């Protein structure tokens, strides 16, 4: 780079050429080929950290046994699906737990410690997960039984055979008890009684709250003979006996997880069509709306923020009893005792009752806090209104930035796809971390069930240290991938604003950028980011990781304190306050980082200098940064809520009405696939909204950098009037005068 610039300038000669050359030398973005690596020391630390992480991975793979994770181990320590010297289990890869209730009762200390996942269950390796079948029982039994291959071979065997009393399903080669629920309803007539119409009385008559003489209506005894009927509904739950609340939740969650996986496997193509294809279509449609109606979107966002503050203040005043206390109390008392059995239309009345209770004033000792909150919100609303009135110019600039950002993202469509690959890498990282964390305990897992239970009470310190290092590495690398996305977006916006010959004004385009033109800006600038700024990304992501680790440690400490102490409201209040402060601090760090990465690429500086420039930006243009950030949050929230909801509604309509198996789908299953679509669309939209927000921020930095450093030479025609150089009292950038003189030409 740089060759075309000299030849183009010297060709003209004279004073005009000298003036142009001097102007371009003083008003030119950083040459991409003249860049240098930033924060090299942090790059070295990150590299050393990863070398140690890879070494720990290797040690875990060498000393651990991943087969114990994939297949499980039985009560004697044998790995299912393998052949041992005493028992051949090569054809039995799955493990079944026949005595969960007894094992739970024998290990109360494990549940009391809170580490309920450390419980050791008596497992038997089987070929397939067994099903409850009373008709296939062996002689002398009423159900199916499975022989224990260790009976007579191992002294720890508990019984020669085990009855199958519950259905089980396969989750990672573990046979988990299925929690089954059956709902039924029965319509009975209670008046006149059965003897009066000569109908057989119901066996349930006189029990379970059903009046004596109830009878079931049939063809022989039709409903026309009945004067009062009841709908008796009941459900039957079949679940693992003797299990704790944790295990019941786990079995239920695993059951739903298995059903979800099966449903996704059967409909994965349709799910991707709704969750990915339709999501991208709707998201780009929102870009068109933001571009065409940028002014409406910005002012609507401002109105929503003001309305939220006003409604919050009114709600707090109502809860404090300062607005409508008497009317709300009367309303709450009027509907308090209404039930479905007393009057028709009670569903609507019950809704009103709940609304009245929700808006009912709080207790006297809490009314002061609510009143104070209402006054704070009212003060914020007043300040917000004053700032809006004084920031009309910043709002107009925000309109142009929203419009230009939507155009930038629309032209660089690869930016909307790139986060999907980053998210895939992050999921792969989390999966690898979970795998190594699961294999890590197998380094010391050996022996029979009794020996493993005895050992689990004295866990080795090196297991905890290695696990903490794995978690830290995952958190740091996860944040690093996020930082790569943010800086790559900033680099693409830099290309669009300063370099791209198709978008840069003809009078401002530099011939030195001819060899930087590309049809694949995302791939090319991802390469620039990884070439020069890995150290900066590692630095910024390390700061975020430290915040995350502090949050995790604080949460663990307070969880331990709350569990080992009596109910302490003060402790809970302190815990909530500290957690809230840490979350706010982390979000502030992430906000500063998102701007710092932009400066790091645009000006080729390190992370500390980029952060300093970010603080200077906030101090110099607080109104612009505040307006941009607020509007971004509102519009991103609108985008994040509307797109997944629309996709899930379309998917629900398809799966529940149009699909070939729609009639056979249960009421619960009809929500399963639309929920999967909602989750996929939500992650897609969150990534898209994050990229869009970073584009707005990057464009803001590029425009301000252009105005301050290059006299606004790269401003688009529609932006020149709004973004006059602030240092010159709103005077148009000097480049505009040079355009008029004809001094600068392409």
- Say if 619 falls within a structural domain: yes
**Mean pLDDT score of the chain:** 79
Same domain, 166 and 188: no
Query: SS3 helix, strand, coil % of the chain, rounded to 5?
Result: 65, 5, 25
Residue 742's pLDDT is what?
A: 39
Are 111 and 118 spatial neighbours (Cβ–Cβ below 8 Å)?
A: no
Closest CA to 597 of 746, 697, 462: 697
Same domain, 138 and 206: no
Q: With H, G, I as helix, E, B as strand and everything else as coil, classify residue 29.
A: coil
Same domain, 285 and 155: no
Same domain, 126 and 191: no
| Predicted confidence (pLDDT) at residue 638 exceeds the cutoff of 70 | yes
Lowest mean pLDDT among 182-191, 317-326, 393-402, 687-696: 317-326
Rounded Cα–Cα distance for residues 190 and 196 (Å):
11
Backbone φ and ψ for 14, nearest 5 degrees, come out as: 80, 180
| Predicted confidence (pLDDT) at residue 559 exceeds the cutoff of 70 | yes
Rounded Cα–Cα distance for residues 517 and 523 (Å):
12
pLDDT above 70 covers what percent of the chain?
79
Same domain, 193 and 281: no
Are 635 and 563 spatial neighbours (Cβ–Cβ below 8 Å)?
A: no
Give me the number of domains the chain comprises: 3
Output the six-digit token pair for 590. Answer: 């992430």
Q: What is the pLDDT of residues 433-486, one digit of tens each?
A: 999 998 888 876 555 555 555 554 445 677 888 889 999 999 999 999 999 999
Q: Taking residues 194-222, what's their average pLDDT?
A: 86
- Say if 510 falls within a structural domain: yes
Closest CA to 356 of 374, 338, 378, 372: 338
The domain boundary, picked from 126, 151, 172, lies at: 172
**H-helix or E-strand spanning residue 431:** helix 414-439
The domain boundary, picked from 172, 193, 209, lies at: 172
- Say if 187 falls within a structural domain: yes
Higher pLDDT, residue 154 or 677:
677
- Say if 26 falls within a structural domain: no
| Predicted confidence (pLDDT) at residue 198 exceeds the cutoff of 90 | no
The pLDDT confidence band at residue 734, using thresholds 50, 70 and 90, is very low
The pLDDT confidence band at residue 735, using thresholds 50, 70 and 90, is very low
Higher pLDDT, residue 7 or 189:
189
Q: What is the pLDDT of residues 144-179, one digit of tens each?
A: 888 888 888 788 888 888 888 888 888 888 888 887
- Say if 60 falls within a structural domain: no
Same domain, 430 and 389: yes
Higher pLDDT, residue 504 or 358:
504
Output the six-digit token pair for 244. Answer: 């704790």
Rounded Cα–Cα distance for residues 366 and 406 (Å):
46
Are 699 and 401 spatial neighbours (Cβ–Cβ below 8 Å)?
A: yes
Closest CA to 481 of 687, 683, 684: 687
Rounded Cα–Cα distance for residues 194 and 88 (Å):
64
Same domain, 407 and 518: yes
Q: What is the pLDDT of residues 309-338, one digit of tens each?
A: 899 888 888 877 776 554 444 444 444 444
Helices (H) and strands (E) in the chain, counts: 26, 9
Rounded Cα–Cα distance for residues 610 and 365 (Å):
48
- Say if 292 falls within a structural domain: yes
Same domain, 296 and 374: yes
Burial class (CB in 10 A: 0-12, 13-18, 19+), 669: middle
The pLDDT confidence band at residue 634, using thresholds 50, 70 and 90, is very high
Closest CA to 513 of 94, 521, 41: 521
Higher pLDDT, residue 566 or 63:
63
Domain of residue 84 covers 72-172
Same domain, 537 and 573: yes
- Say if 431 falls within a structural domain: yes
Same domain, 211 and 112: no
Same domain, 415 and 297: yes
Are 565 and 575 spatial neighbours (Cβ–Cβ below 8 Å)?
A: no
The domain boundary, picked from 142, 172, 202, lies at: 172
Which 3-state string (H, E, C) describes 254-283?
Answer: HHHHHHHHHHHHHCHHHHHHHHHHHHHHHH
Residue 731's pLDDT is what?
A: 42
Same domain, 166 and 191: no
| Predicted confidence (pLDDT) at residue 31 exceeds the cutoff of 80 | no
Residue 26's pLDDT is what?
A: 55
Residue 430's pLDDT is what?
A: 92
| Predicted confidence (pLDDT) at residue 423 exceeds the cutoff of 80 | yes
Residue 733's pLDDT is what?
A: 44
Q: Most confidently modeled of 239-248, 587-596, 712-721?
A: 587-596
The pLDDT confidence band at residue 379, using thresholds 50, 70 and 90, is very high
Residue 643's pLDDT is what?
A: 93
- Say if 2 falls within a structural domain: no
Q: What is the pLDDT of residues 74-132, one digit of tens each?
A: 888 888 988 877 788 888 899 998 888 788 777 777 666 655 556 778 889 999 988 88
Are 409 and 415 spatial neighbours (Cβ–Cβ below 8 Å)?
A: yes
| Predicted confidence (pLDDT) at residue 6 exceeds the cutoff of 50 | no
Whole-Å CA distances, 402 to 286, 415, 697:
12, 16, 10
Residue 358's pLDDT is what?
A: 64
Residue 20's pLDDT is what?
A: 53
The pLDDT confidence band at residue 418, using thresholds 50, 70 and 90, is confident
């Amino acid at each position: 780079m740089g060759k075309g610039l000299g030849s183009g300038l010297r060709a003209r000669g004279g004073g005009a050429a000298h003036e142009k050359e001097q102007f371009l030398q003083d008003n030119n973005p950083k040459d991409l080929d003249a860049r240098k690596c930033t924060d090299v020391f942090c790059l070295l630390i990150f590299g050393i950290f990863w070398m140690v992480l890879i070494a720990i991975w290797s040690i875990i793979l060498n000393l651990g046994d991943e087969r114990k994770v994939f297949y499980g181990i039985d009560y004697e320590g044998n790995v299912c699906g393998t052949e041992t010297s005493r028992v051949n289990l090569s054809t039995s890869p799955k493990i079944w737990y026949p005595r969960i209730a007894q094992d739970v009762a024998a290990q109360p200390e494990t549940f009391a410690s809170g580490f309920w996942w450390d419980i050791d269950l008596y497992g038997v390796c089987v070929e397939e997960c067994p099903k409850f079948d009373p008709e296939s029982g062996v002689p002398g039994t009423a159900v199916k039984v499975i022989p224990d291959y260790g009976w007579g071979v191992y002294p720890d065997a508990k019984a020669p055979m085990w009855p199958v009393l519950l259905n089980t399903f396969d989750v990672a080669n573990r046979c988990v008890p299925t929690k089954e629920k059956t709902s039924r309803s029965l319509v009975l007539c209670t008046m006149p009684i059965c003897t009066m119409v000569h109908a057989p009385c119901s066996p349930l008559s006189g029990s379970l709250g059903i009046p004596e003489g109830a009878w079931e209506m049939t063809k022989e005894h039709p409903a026309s003979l009945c004067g009062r009927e009841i709908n008796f509904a009941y459900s039957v739950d079949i679940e693992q006996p003797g299990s704790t609340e944790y295990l019941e939740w786990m079995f239920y969650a695993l059951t739903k997880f298995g059903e979800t996986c099966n449903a996704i496997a059967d409909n994965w193509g349709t799910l991707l069509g709704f969750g990915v294809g339709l999501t991208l279509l709707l998201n780009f449609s929102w870009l068109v709306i933001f571009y065409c109606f940028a002014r409406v979107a910005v002012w609507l966002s401002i109105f929503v923020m003001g309305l939220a503050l006003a409604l919050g203040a009114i709600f707090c005043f109502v809860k404090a009893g300062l607005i409508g206390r008497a009317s709300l109390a009367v309303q709450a008392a009027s509907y308090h005792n209404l039930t479905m059995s007393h009057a028709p239309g009670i569903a609507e009345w019950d809704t009103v009752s709940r609304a009245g209770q929700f808006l009912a004033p709080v207790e006297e000792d809490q009314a002061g806090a609510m009143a104070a909150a209402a006054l704070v919100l009212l003060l914020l609303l007043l300040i917000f209104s004053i700032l809006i009135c004084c920031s009309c110019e910043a709002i107009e600039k925000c309109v142009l930035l929203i419009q230009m950002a939507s155009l930038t993202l629309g032209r660089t469509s690869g930016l909307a796809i790139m986060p999907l690959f980053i998210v895939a890498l992050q999921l792969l990282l989390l999966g690898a971390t979970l795998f190594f964390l699961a294999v890590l305990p197998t380094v010391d897992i050996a022996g029979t069930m009794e020996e493993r239970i005895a050992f689990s009470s004295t866990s080795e310190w090196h297991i905890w240290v290695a696990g903490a290092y794995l978690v830290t590495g995952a958190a740091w690398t996860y944040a690093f991938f996020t930082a790569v996305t943010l800086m790559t977006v900033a680099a693409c916006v830099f290309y669009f604003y300063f370099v791209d010959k198709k978008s840069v004004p003809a009078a401002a385009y530099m011939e030195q950028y001819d060899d930087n033109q590309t049809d694949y800006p995302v791939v090319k600038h991802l390469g620039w980011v990884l070439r020069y700024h890995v150290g900066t990304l590692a630095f910024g992501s390390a700061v975020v990781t430290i915040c995350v680790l502090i949050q995790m440690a604080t949460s663990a400490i307070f969880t331990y304190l709350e569990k080992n102490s009596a109910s302490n409201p003060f402790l809970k209040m302190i815990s909530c306050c500290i957690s809230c402060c840490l979350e706010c601090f982390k979000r502030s760090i992430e906000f500063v980082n998102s701007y710092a990465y932009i400066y790091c690429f645009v000006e080729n500086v390190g992370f500390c200098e980029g952060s300093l420039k970010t603080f200077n930006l906030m101090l110099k243009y607080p109104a612009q940064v505040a307006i941009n950030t607020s509007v971004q949050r509102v519009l991103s929230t609108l985008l994040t809520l509307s797109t997944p909801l629309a996709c899930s509604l379309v998917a629900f309509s398809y799966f529940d009405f149009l699909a070939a198996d729609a009639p056979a789908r249960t009421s619960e299953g009809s929500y399963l696939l639309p929920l999967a679509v909602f989750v996929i669309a939500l992650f897609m939209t969150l990534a898209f909204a994050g990229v869009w927000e970073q584009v707005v921020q990057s464009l803001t930095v590029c425009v301000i950098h252009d105005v301050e450093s290059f006299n606004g030479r790269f401003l688009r025609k529609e932006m020149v009037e709004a973004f006059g150089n602030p240092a010159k009292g709103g005077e148009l950038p000097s480049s505009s005068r040079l355009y008029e003189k004809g001094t600068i030409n392409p």
